[in-house]
Structure 1
Amino acid sequence: MPNTEPVQNGFLLSRHSHDRKHDRKHDRKHDRTGGQAEIILWVVTDTGPVRLVVEGERPVCFVVTSHIEALKAEFTKAFPGVESRPLPLKNFHHEPVTALYCKGVGQSFQMHDFLRSRGVELLEADVRLADRYLMERFVYGGLAFTGDRVQKSGYQECRNVKIRPTEFKPNFKVISLDIECSERGELYSIGLSGQGYGQGYGQVIMVGDQEPVDWIQWVADEKALLESFEETMKILDPDIVIGWNVINFDFRLLLKRAERHGMRLRLGRGQQPASWRNRRGETDQGFITIPGRMVIDGIEALKAATYQFDSFSLEFVAQTLLGRGKATEDVDNRMAIINHDFRHNKEKLARYNLEDCRLVEEIFEHTNILDYLRLRSQLTGLELDRMGGSVQAFTNLYMPRLHRAGYVAPNLPEDGGLASPGGYVMDSIPGLYRNVIVLDFKSLYPSIIRTFKIDPLGLVEGLKAPEGTIPGFRGALFSRDQHFLPDIISSLWVQRDEAKKQKDAARSQALKIIMNSFYGVLGSGGCRFYDTRLASSITMRGHEIMQQTARWIEEQGYQVIYGDTDSTFVLLSETYSDDEARATGKKLEQMINDRWTAKLEKDFQLASDLELEFETCYQRFLMPTIRGADTGSKKRYAGIKATSSGQELVFKGLETVRSDWTALAKYFQTELFSLVFADQSPETLVRETVEKTLAGEWDDKLVYRKRLRRNLKDYVKNVPPQVRAARKADEMNQSLGKTLKYQRKGWVQYVMTVNGPEPLEYRTSPIDYQHYIDKQLKPVADGVLPFINLDFNTLIDEQMGLF
């Protein structure tokens, strides 16, 4: 018998909607549109997983009332089961709309096709039923629920569900997964580890018949491996499975191999089968669905949290974050080693397999990435595995508020969205300076949205009743009191300040990314709320603020040498001490903030949320010229500043921080700028660097590492050096019977030789040292030497004559 229990808290793991199958033959005979819709929500609670089944919710979309009235007879005949209900809502053109409620998801798709074929525009037809159900109840992550419960195998099922939002921090059960296989995809082993299982769980399921090892489960063949994996997942019952490229490699291959054996891989709760769906237009990229569980790929999760690495290989990220890497002595020949170990040393391969699982676990722990994803979900309603999703996050937050204000949301712009002006970038004044301070506006674009009430609803209402509105740009007018986005940002802003006080880095980062994404959303043709007047009113107001700020600073007798989006670079007197420079920075900060407060009150009768901060004092600073020109560069500079741990050399946009330059260029730039900033001659460094390069002493620093952004065969007209090197490498791999490594994107390492680019692993020609002098050392030197009256070619002429 079902059991109704008190309110219980949980965390939303996944959501899905579908049409319930017909229960009776009579239904199937008389209704060809499918069954009624139901929503499935999987929830993590303190007492285990719960499957919430929500019934009675109907897919809905909106049409302009006059449009559906013109088709009423034809529409009613075609869809007698669809409820047509005029509502006190209107579109952004102030036309009244009618809601169309369908019985099921299948019927809604049929209705959409019918109306679109007759030229009727449907509003909000693309909103998924489960998403609408949650957002209209303001449920983001945490929820409280009640209902009638029945115990199932491994979980509870709850019907007659009612939910409301709440705060809840789940204790996820997490398993890290990694597979080993042959180059043909034959499975050798599946590794699993997790720290949330007693003293920590670690096991490898491996094909073979060896001496017993307590952490290895031996199985007879590949099918037995998959069957054992199913059983292990049932026993461990994880909420989340993590891994490295775990969706598009590990799980995609697992499902393919299961299909070869006529198996549906039953990895979900209640032994429901996992399923795969390809991304649109992709054959090797897709989505994995495991009922009751979530799969999170470490690479995509770190990217979502704005982590950046030269490479997202597990080896590179682990070495960077943890200081250790994969358990193999030869990463480049890993496939050959795996094959050898599977035949001759299975226990070694099993250790390697398990170590990869544990590396991923440690990376997740080190970065607190699951905390970040959980917090992001609680703030925006995005699923844990949804990477990117800024537009959906905005929609989740904004749309239910819009409905309560009496409007339905528009559709995506048909033209894909017109470009809006970018951030302000001032023409720089090149030079080598002492005492340059940087003044930053704290979250400039969010603060502009707050101050000037920039908002989709505010624009619609402002244009409807222009009197007393706040002027924007490109004809925009914003209501002073009817808006939502400024208040949403204010709430997030307060939460971020609190998170920073509590040193909650994950929460602070999540809030920062969400707030800063709102401008991009409003300027994106992929967002239903896009309007060029919205985005332009943010960026062009930013231009105005930056230019006025520079004028006020220069009125005080200081020179502004550069400005970029929200940062202003100010040159002070060379005679200032570090303390005097910092005091001047704080004085300018206060003056600018006071002036904006007064100006916005006088000109617009608005309270200012703009906040300028003194951010940095560079004791020495270089603003280079554009290569081959006398004009100053943009978004490229270098400086040295004092920190609590000593002096720090900072590079922005220069070779040292770019992944496509060699280690030689990065070493040379760091050493060269350190000498110049210390007022020491760099002549000896320049000559010795060229000499050692020509002598072959630094061959290990000459390797280029570049990304192949397309499949190798797709490079036809423009064939850059990395592609030529990759093709040579795979030609050799093919001739040697090895796996082709570079056919589908990826990274390639190569050197420039007298016969052009050659892959590092198959170089046969002498290195072209002159290339590295001309293309790596000279550009770096030319960026700074002219400012101290030196010339690279003059300095190295003597060395060049010796070789």
Structure 2
Amino acid sequence: MPQAFLLTRQWRDTREGVVLDFWWATDNGPCWTQVTGQEVVFFIAREQAAQISALLRGLRDWRMADVELKTFRNQWVCALYFKQHRLARDAQTLLDQARICYWESDIRPTERYLMERFITAAADLESTDTRSPLINPRLVPVSEPLWRPALRMLSLDIETSMDATQLYSIGIWCEQAKIVLMVGEGQDTESVRFCSDERTCLEAFFVCIEQLDPDIVIGWNLVQFDLLVLEKLCQRLNISLRLGRAGQSIHWRHEEGDGGRSFVVIPGRVALDGIDLLKAANPRFETYALQHVAEELLGEGKLLSGSDRGGDITHLFHNDKLALAQYNLRDCELAWSIFTSQHLLEFAMERSQLTGLLLDRVGGSVAAFEYLYLPRLHRRGYIAPNLGELESDVFSPGGYVMSSRPGIYDNVLVLDFKSLYPSIMRSFLVDPCAFWIAQHQQLDEAHTAPGFNGASFAREGHILPQLIEQLSAARDRAKQHRNEPLSYAIKIIMNSFYGVLGSTGCRFFDPRISSSITLRGHDIIQRSRDWIEQQGYTVIYGDTDSLFVWLENNCLGHAPKSPQQCNSIGVRLARELNAWWQETLQQDYQLNSALEIQYETHYLRFLMPTIRGSELGTKKRYAGLIDVNGQREMIFKGLENVRTDWTQLAKQFQADLYRKVFDGEDYVEYVRTATTAVLAGERDDDLIYRKRLRRQLHEYQKNVPPHVQAARKYVQWTGERLRRGDWISYVMTINGPEPLGTYEVDWSLRQSPVDYQHYIDKQLTPVADSILHFLNKSLNELVDHQLSLFGADMPASR
């Protein structure tokens, strides 16, 4: 019985019924299976069965059957089966016209087939057929849950003219081959093959794909640029982009509107974009440009990195094709190295196996939740509601954020609840199905767990608590086996469950359910704070699932506690608070506690700043000094140091100033020196702002922020086009914001002198005063003499 991992899934109407096409990767190579004679199904209220039968009398190839399923309103339903998807759509149109409700009509045939068999990605194939495709094999969940095939990966990158209308070269990097297909005349080398024209280059590319036969095609901006450009080129040349296995055609879907994303299905192969996967697996980069990511992760970058890279590429194409080939191949190698070093393919596979999402699916938290939840809901005797059906006027608040106590502190501990919201769902049995069961069976308090806003949850028949418990155990096993991709994928899925239930984009959204999670979180944080303060310590801040505990509040006249003493207190507080919650939940609710608070961090020194212009403490913004194996390290949360819309000047200034204050060093001279350097024009390279365009330029009307002003000047001055999602680098001048380029900085674009006073007022002053405030100082007070000296004769900027 071969084991198989799902690559692609498609369906199509035929006269004999719906056909499901699945491509799998196995240890023996790719495998194509077909499931024939399938029906499309959705559900209607049983009480309307006679009316609907009369309404659909004119349609053919459909049937109705009673099923042991109910709606969330406790109505029995019937199932309608159709031989073709097109016929099902015709029936839905008639029902819509008659204003008759129906359910689960949006579940694709391939997804329903797999999810009802509890197959996410890996499966066992039972078939004696040796043909390709295998017809109607029996599919069951894989018998070895940790089995994964070795997928063949190929890195792809193309080079084109600046307007992407002329193909220059196609780079391929994989274990079997490292080659560039170059348009033009030349002598072939080991790594470069010359092709007389674009058509010949594409045909050679198709041959390479067929011979190398990758399961996975990777790249950087692969779908939105490389494959899309190749598709348009093929259309112009009147040929097909032959990338699918067994001669199957690829399929495109394009979002409407300028700047909309494009999606591609390649039968038997998966196109994975490094940008999308890295954002999902490691969302911490200021920009996901290949140059930036490669330099940070690999310590190396592209072979061309100037401000006019497009022009440089065209110059190489006309004058040095071998150098262009090296550049092209290097980009393929960088993408490959990032994928392998960050285990991106492994992450995608684990996420797919956990959720049923296809390997190339971007986002999809709601889809993943429903894929896991629906088949289990059906086993409980219910069908899913439609989107927006669970309406309620109840307000569901967000996480609890405690008012902070601003100041500079010695010895602050962070106690953090591990996966608080999933733990609440496990402990208090929060679950849509359990909510319906409690209502429909009118269960009393002895048979329910309490929620908020009138909600209660049946102690028997719930789904989510068991799912989360299974995932939590799987994550613990993944950690034991040091399977980081699996561990991280499980963490993302578990933490998404609340977000899904609290999202109006999910069919199970009900504020009574989501508020039973968030309000329980409020209660847990507040009661935990009270317990800690009963132990003699002060909680200076709390945020959703974390508590910040100051240990020195009752130690006036005594030396601060040692790191060893603080760690001992942290371990004890976590242990005893967990025991207290276990006892409390058992005593108050007769429930087993899955809550687990952990001692996370010891801050040697800690700053909780005030809101600017106020004495009130901030929320979600703080900084602290920790010790990591004898090395002191600064941690910033929500402050300028970690925000992408602040300059490198402000980030470095904040890191240095805070460290000096925390370490008790002289900070006055540092502030003065840093300010003087800015006014003297010595820090120009650190004055650059970078910001992404969230909309099209013409959509900014009433409020035109500085980066948009700079972007409009860039378009006017250079003639280049900018789209939604592009980055713009700019500097503030005496004539307002002026551009320095997009991904690469080009100071020659600037036309006016730099406004250095802007950087003193808007970058250094807010950063400095946020900590100097607690020392009864201010930046203006410390540097007033320098400001007056430079005010009369500002330096010339480059």
Q: TM-score range by the shorter chain?
A: over 0.9
- Out of 773, 776, 779, which is 1:789 matched to? 776
Is residue 537–residue 550 contact of structure 2 (8 Å, CA) maintained in 1?
yes
The offset of 1:535, in angstroms, is 0.7
Is residue 8–residue 266 contact of structure 2 (8 Å, CA) maintained in 1?
no
The offset of 1:184, in angstroms, is 2.6
Hey, what does 2:220 align to over in structure 1?
244
Is residue 89–residue 408 contact of structure 1 (8 Å, CA) maintained in 2?
yes
Q: Is 1:758 the equivalent of 2:738?
A: yes
Residues 362 and 741 of structure 1: CA distance in aligned 2, closer, same or farther (over 3 Å): farther
One-letter amino acid of the counterpart of residue 485, structure 2: A
Hey, what does 1:387 align to over in structure 2?
362
For residues 297 and 205 of structure 2, the distance between their equivalents in structure 1, rounded to whole angstroms, comes to 30
One-letter amino acid of the counterpart of residue 94, structure 1: N
Unaligned ranges ≥5, structure 1: 1-6, 23-34, 735-739
Hey, what does 1:588 align to over in structure 2?
573
Hey, what does 1:365 align to over in structure 2?
340
Hey, what does 1:25 align to over in structure 2?
none
Is residue 391–residue 510 contact of structure 2 (8 Å, CA) maintained in 1?
no
Hey, what does 1:337 align to over in structure 2?
312
For residues 212 and 632 of structure 2, the distance between their equivalents in structure 1, rounded to whole angstroms, comes to 50
Is residue 176–residue 241 contact of structure 1 (8 Å, CA) maintained in 2?
yes
The offset of 1:223, in angstroms, is 1.4
One-letter amino acid of the counterpart of residue 194, structure 2: W
Scaled by the length of structure 1, what TM-score is found?
A: 0.94
- Out of 67, 75, 87, which is 2:67 matched to? 87
Q: Map 1:43-122 to 2 at 5 A.
A: 43-75=24-56, 77-122=57-102
Hey, what does 2:149 align to over in structure 1?
170
Q: Is 1:712 the equivalent of 2:697?
A: yes
Q: Could you give the per-residue CA deviations for residues 576-611 of structure 1, whole angstroms, max 9, x where no partner exists?
A: 111111111122112211211111111101111111
Q: Could you give the per-residue CA deviations for residues 740-799 of structure 1, whole angstroms, max 9, x where no partner exists?
A: 142443101110001111112310211100000000000001100011121211111111
Supply the RMSD in Å over aligned alpha carbons. 1.4
Hey, what does 2:614 align to over in structure 1?
629
Hey, what does 1:506 align to over in structure 2?
485
For residues 390 and 312 of structure 2, the distance between their equivalents in structure 1, rounded to whole angstroms, comes to 53
Is residue 240–residue 296 contact of structure 1 (8 Å, CA) maintained in 2?
yes
Residues 507 and 444 of structure 1: CA distance in aligned 2, closer, same or farther (over 3 Å): same
- Out of 685, 688, 702, which is 2:687 matched to? 702
- Out of 237, 241, 244, which is 1:261 matched to? 237
Q: Could you give the per-residue CA deviations for residues 81-117 of structure 1, whole angstroms, max 9, x where no partner exists?
A: 2110011111111111000000011111111111111
Identity, % of aligned positions: 46
Is residue 252–residue 276 contact of structure 1 (8 Å, CA) maintained in 2?
no
Hey, what does 1:31 align to over in structure 2?
none
Hey, what does 2:167 align to over in structure 1?
187
Across the two proteins, how many residue pairs are aligned to each other?
Answer: 769
The offset of 1:417, in angstroms, is 8.1
Q: Map 1:132-281 to 2 at 5 A.
A: 132-147=112-127, 149-151=129-131, 156-166=132-142, 167=145, 168-185=147-164, 186-195=166-175, 197=176, 201-281=177-257
Is residue 298–residue 360 contact of structure 1 (8 Å, CA) maintained in 2?
yes
Hey, what does 2:601 align to over in structure 1?
616
Q: Is 1:546 the equivalent of 2:525?
A: yes
One-letter amino acid of the counterpart of residue 335, structure 1: G
Hey, what does 2:443 align to over in structure 1?
466
For residues 310 and 590 of structure 2, the distance between their equivalents in structure 1, rounded to whole angstroms, comes to 68
Is residue 64–residue 78 contact of structure 2 (8 Å, CA) maintained in 1?
yes
For residues 131 and 792 of structure 1, the distance between their equivalents in structure 2, rounded to whole angstroms, comes to 61
Is residue 626–residue 633 contact of structure 2 (8 Å, CA) maintained in 1?
yes
Hey, what does 1:420 align to over in structure 2?
396
Residues 71 and 422 of structure 1: CA distance in aligned 2, closer, same or farther (over 3 Å): same
Is residue 730–residue 742 contact of structure 1 (8 Å, CA) maintained in 2?
yes
The offset of 1:284, in angstroms, is 4.6
For residues 526 and 43 of structure 2, the distance between their equivalents in structure 1, rounded to whole angstroms, comes to 45
Hey, what does 2:9 align to over in structure 1?
15
Q: Secondary structure at the match of 1:266?
A: coil
Hey, what does 2:794 align to over in structure 1?
none
Q: Map 1:381-780 to 2 at 5 A.
A: 381-413=356-388, 420-464=396-440, 465-467=442-444, 468=446, 469-573=448-552, 575-734=560-719, 740-760=720-740, 761=746, 762-780=749-767
Greater Cα shift, 82-91 or 498-507: 498-507
For residues 403 and 37 of structure 2, the distance between their equivalents in structure 1, rounded to whole angstroms, comes to 60
For residues 41 and 427 of structure 1, the distance between their equivalents in structure 2, rounded to whole angstroms, comes to 54
For residues 94 and 205 of structure 2, the distance between their equivalents in structure 1, rounded to whole angstroms, comes to 46
For residues 515 and 436 of structure 1, the distance between their equivalents in structure 2, rounded to whole angstroms, comes to 29
Residues 329 and 487 of structure 1: CA distance in aligned 2, closer, same or farther (over 3 Å): closer
The offset of 1:147, in angstroms, is 3.0
Residues 645 and 55 of structure 1: CA distance in aligned 2, closer, same or farther (over 3 Å): farther
For residues 280 and 61 of structure 1, the distance between their equivalents in structure 2, rounded to whole angstroms, comes to 28
Residues 787 and 369 of structure 1: CA distance in aligned 2, closer, same or farther (over 3 Å): same
Is residue 712–residue 745 contact of structure 1 (8 Å, CA) maintained in 2?
no
For residues 625 and 686 of structure 1, the distance between their equivalents in structure 2, rounded to whole angstroms, comes to 20
The offset of 1:144, in angstroms, is 0.8
One-letter amino acid of the counterpart of residue 534, structure 1: I
Hey, what does 1:39 align to over in structure 2?
20
For residues 133 and 612 of structure 1, the distance between their equivalents in structure 2, rounded to whole angstroms, comes to 40
Is residue 416–residue 526 contact of structure 1 (8 Å, CA) maintained in 2?
no
Q: Could you give the per-residue CA deviations for residues 532-584 of structure 1, whole angstroms, max 9, x where no partner exists?
A: 11110000000000000011111122111000010000111262111111111
Is residue 708–residue 723 contact of structure 1 (8 Å, CA) maintained in 2?
yes
Is residue 390–residue 510 contact of structure 2 (8 Å, CA) maintained in 1?
no
Is residue 581–residue 617 contact of structure 1 (8 Å, CA) maintained in 2?
yes
The offset of 1:528, in angstroms, is 1.4
The offset of 1:329, in angstroms, is 4.5
Residues 583 and 392 of structure 1: CA distance in aligned 2, closer, same or farther (over 3 Å): same
For residues 251 and 783 of structure 2, the distance between their equivalents in structure 1, rounded to whole angstroms, comes to 63
The offset of 1:647, in angstroms, is 1.1
Q: Could you give the per-residue CA deviations for residues 712-739 of structure 1, whole angstroms, max 9, x where no partner exists?
A: 22212211111111111121212xxxxx
Q: Secondary structure at the match of 2:155?
A: strand
The offset of 1:307, in angstroms, is 2.1
One-letter amino acid of the counterpart of residue 92, structure 2: H
For residues 211 and 60 of structure 2, the distance between their equivalents in structure 1, rounded to whole angstroms, comes to 48
Residues 282 and 566 of structure 1: CA distance in aligned 2, closer, same or farther (over 3 Å): same
For residues 698 and 342 of structure 1, the distance between their equivalents in structure 2, rounded to whole angstroms, comes to 37
Q: Could you give the per-residue CA deviations for residues 34-93 of structure 1, whole angstroms, max 9, x where no partner exists?
A: x52010000111111111000122110001111232232232x22242110011111111
For residues 562 and 209 of structure 1, the distance between their equivalents in structure 2, rounded to whole angstroms, comes to 68
Unaligned ranges ≥5, structure 2: 741-745, 791-798
One-letter amino acid of the counterpart of residue 788, structure 2: G
